[in-house]
């Protein structure tokens, strides 16, 4: 887990906190994007019959496979950000699935565009334009079969520690997300938020994708575990990261080395987009578990129209009324 500054002791509820500094954060852009990011993050929990991996993990592996064989990072970033935004509503229904269902590439692109269009108000015009330009390639894509580097598969198998604090027991939530899930989400969020921070979307995407390379070997013990590793942590992180970078083309490895150095600052535009994406994903993940724990049947029935309007919805409701099941 990315290190954060130690938190101050919690104050009593009645004490008012001083206003937080804005740090030049694009407040309006972030507020607009968060509902979309929340939906995109749910791809960590979407699976289909042809794979045991989540849609997020599959996109993480697909991204690394493309980068390892020399694909342009900007093209990969646009492709995966477009796939994620389209998948926010379509879930596992992607370009290859639509074509297996008999749609042409053009028809599949129209469906993907319809899904992306539902989030038009959440993103700036330039970002939305990049996503739309990627849709024809997305619709025509073949199912992913290229092998990703071994570290990518290890990160998909490596669970995240969740919320930890030095000196306290960890908060355990089930099922834990994987590092593949988290790194994919940070990469996509970073790519989608890059414009708001004046960052190169490819840089923000790559930094998110690679920021936990060391956890391919090092199990995640969270912030509490990092504090116990103490003075050994920087050397461990550096050695393990360098080891994983040797699996990549030299030009890409060099670019990643420079980008990974930005993890310790928040001045460079790519660093700002990355840190915004990282902290949002950590908090949205915890909020997902909180919402899941508090879920009620009424939310599904009333808010989400579980028994939705259709040709036989009147009969459905009559059955539920008679059975006293609603």
Q: Rounded distance, CA 89 to CA 202, Å? A: 24
pLDDT at residue 20, rounded to an integer: 59
**Average pLDDT of the chain to the nearest whole number:** 90
Determine the average pLDDT of the residues in 233-254: 97
Q: Rounded distance, CA 40 to CA 108, Å? A: 20
Contact 59, 81 (CB under 8 A): no
Mapping DSSP to helix (H, G, I), strand (E, B) and coil, where does residue 326 land?
Answer: coil
Q: Rounded distance, CA 326 to CA 302, Å? A: 10
pLDDT at residue 322, rounded to an integer: 79
Tens of pLDDT, residues 121-143: 999 999 999 999 999 999 999 88
Tens of pLDDT, residues 197-208: 999 999 999 999
Beta bridge partners of 249: none
Q: Rounded distance, CA 72 to CA 214, Å? A: 24
**Residue whose tokens read 């994919």:** 184
Q: Rounded distance, CA 289 to CA 177, Å? A: 11
Tens of pLDDT, residues 253-309: 999 999 999 999 999 999 999 999 999 999 999 888 888 877 777 877 787 787 888
Q: Rounded distance, CA 244 to CA 90, Å? A: 33
Confidence category of residue 5, pLDDT binned at 50, 70, 90: very low
Contact 116, 135 (CB under 8 A): yes
- Total-model pTM: 0.86
């Amino acid at each position: 887990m990315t290190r954060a500054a130690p938190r101050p002791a919690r104050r009593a509820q009645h004490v008012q906190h001083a206003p937080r500094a804005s740090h030049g954060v694009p407040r309006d852009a972030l507020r607009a994007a968060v509902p979309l990011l929340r939906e995109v993050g749910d791809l960590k929990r979407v699976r289909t019959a042809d794979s045991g991996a989540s849609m997020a993990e599959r996109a993480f592996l697909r991204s690394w496979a493309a980068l390892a064989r020399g694909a342009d990072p900007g093209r990969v970033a646009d492709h995966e950000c477009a796939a994620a935004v389209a998948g926010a509503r379509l879930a596992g229904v992607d370009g290859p699935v639509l074509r297996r269902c008999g749609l042409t590439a053009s028809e599949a692109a129209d469906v993907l565009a319809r899904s992306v269009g539902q989030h038009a108000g959440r993103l700036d015009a330039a970002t939305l334009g990049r996503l739309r330009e990627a849709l024809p390639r997305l619709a025509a894509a073949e199912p992913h079969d290229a092998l990703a580097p071994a570290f990518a598969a290890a990160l998909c198998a490596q669970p995240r520690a969740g919320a930890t604090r030095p000196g306290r027991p960890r908060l355990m939530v089930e099922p834990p997300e994987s590092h593949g899930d988290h790194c994919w989400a940070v990469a996509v969020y970073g790519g989608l938020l890059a414009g708001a921070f004046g960052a190169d979307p490819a840089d923000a995407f790559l930094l998110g994708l690679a920021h936990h390379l060391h956890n391919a070997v090092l199990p995640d013990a969270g912030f509490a575990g990092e504090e116990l590793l103490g003075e050994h942590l920087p050397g461990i992180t550096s050695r393990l990261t360098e080891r994983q970078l040797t699996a990549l083309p030299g030009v890409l490895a060099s670019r990643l080395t420079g980008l990974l150095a930005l993890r310790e600052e928040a001045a460079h535009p790519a660093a700002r987009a990355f840190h915004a994406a990282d902290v949002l994903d950590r908090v949205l993940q915890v909020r997902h578990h909180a919402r899941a724990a508090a879920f009620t049947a009424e939310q599904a029935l009333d808010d989400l129209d579980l028994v939705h309007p259709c040709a036989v919805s009147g009969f459905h409701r009559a059955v539920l009324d008679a059975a006293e099941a609603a």
